[in-house]
Amino acid sequence: MSSNVSTPYLEPYTSQTLSPPSPSPLATNPPLTALDDDIPPLSLDILSKHDDKVEALRHVADSIAQQRQEAAYSLVLHPLLVAGLVATLGLLYRHAYIQQRLDLGTATMMATGFVMSYLMAIRWAASGYLRAAEEMKWDWLVGEDGEEDVVIGTRFGKDLIGALVLRLEPNPTGAGKKKNRSLSLKGGKGVVRAWTTKLKYRGKGVGEDMLREAVRITRERCGRDAEVGFAAEHANSVRVLPEMFNAPFRRQEMKAARALEAVVGELEKRKR
């Protein structure tokens, strides 16, 4: 989109002296800098307060519940299911119009019933994501060693609009020998267990900034060459449908992996 501020003035220039224009009502408006002061700041921090972490966990649960819509959309448009619905309506049409075994009113009611049953079955099949979201409890943030995951949050003003859950896993060869966690993390790795942004803020770089912060924290605590990746069983890896219907979720996982790979590659170039 073009910006009025950066668009050059292309009208012909004349040196003719013009009478001063009458005062514009816009002249009394505050300058642009004053308006900019009203825009809330965007901040990225490690969340340390319990309430903030609970809010971040709620955002993660919401992202799981939102997968229900994606699952339902996948089912509604899946060629196999659409073919089955069309075949059923075709049989109904054959009985009603060709063989004249049903009157128009009865056929219409039956067709409506079939479609409604089809949509209700899809809604029920995708409802497992709501149950998975409800099961997201505080214990999910605590590892087997009793250590809480690092929670990174992005705020727009006072509103939390993004959350990333990072688990720092110690070096398996030295974790049992070192009681000091900071020492045991040397040579370890970072595992992203959840990564979500509010719907209206997606595609604006918020998620990328959180990934960049996750890589920074991991390499600060585990070593400058520590690996960072998504957990195999991350928060949004829950699948309630057969594998043939999960193509949209596989694409999202691949997209997230590429985003993290791009962030790591960018940081590697900076080190050079």
- In the DSSP assignment, the letter for residue 238 is -
Q: Would you state the pLDDT for residue 34? A: 44
pLDDT mean over 129-142:
93
The pLDDT value recorded for residue 171 is 82
pTM: 0.75
Residues 152/213, Cβ–Cβ less than 8 Å: yes
Mean pLDDT over 201-208 rounds to 91
Give per-residue pLDDT as tens, 216-243. 999 999 998 899 999 999 999 999 999 9
Q: What distance in Å separates the CA atoms of residue 103 and residue 52, rounded to the nearest whole number? A: 62
Report the pLDDT value the prediction gives residue 215, as an integer from 0 to 100.
95
In this prediction, residue 225 carries a pLDDT of 87
Residue 153 confidence class, pLDDT cut points 50, 70, 90: very high
Task: Characterize the bridge pairing of strands 189-197 and 159-169.
Answer: antiparallel
Task: Determine whether 35 is exposed, middle or buried from the number of CB atoms within 10 Å of its CB (0-12, 13-18, 19+).
Answer: exposed
- The more confident residue out of 92 and 149 is 149
Q: Looking at the predicted structure, is the pLDDT value of residue 178 above 70?
A: no
Domains of the chain by residue range: 43-48+142-271, 50-132
Higher pLDDT, 178 or 54: 54
Mean pLDDT score of the chain, rounded to an integer?
Answer: 81
Q: Which of 123-137, 150-164, 168-182 has the lowest mean pLDDT?
A: 168-182
% of residues, the chain, pLDDT over 90: 47
Residues 6 or more apart from 166 whose CB is under 8 A from it? 149, 150, 151, 152, 190, 191, 192, 193, 214, 217, 218
Residue 170 DSSP SS3: coil
Helices (H), the chain: 32-36, 50-76, 79-93, 104-126, 128-134, 181-184, 206-222, 247-271
For CA atoms 15, 18, 23, 24, give the dihedral sign.
negative
Task: With CA atoms as reference, report the closest residue to 248 among 126, 164, 124.
Answer: 126
d(CA 171, CA 179): 12
What is the SS3 assignment for 174?
Answer: coil
Other Cβ atoms less than 10 A from the Cβ of 96: the count is 19
What phi and psi values does residue 16 have, to the nearest 5 degrees?
A: -65, 135
Predicted pLDDT of residue 267: 85
DSSP symbols for 118-166: HHHHHHHHHTHHHHHHHT--GGGGB-TTSPBPEEEEEEETTEEEEEEEE
Q: Please give the average per-residue pLDDT across 89-113, as a whole number.
A: 72
- Domain 43-48+142-271 in CATH: superfamily? Gcn5-related N-acetyltransferase (GNAT) (3.40.630.30)
Which of 28-37, 128-137, 154-163 is least confident? 28-37
What does the alpha-carbon distance between residue 125 and residue 244 come to, in Å, rounded to a whole number? 14
Q: What pLDDT score does 179 carry?
A: 62
The first and second tokens of residue 112, run together, are 């409506």
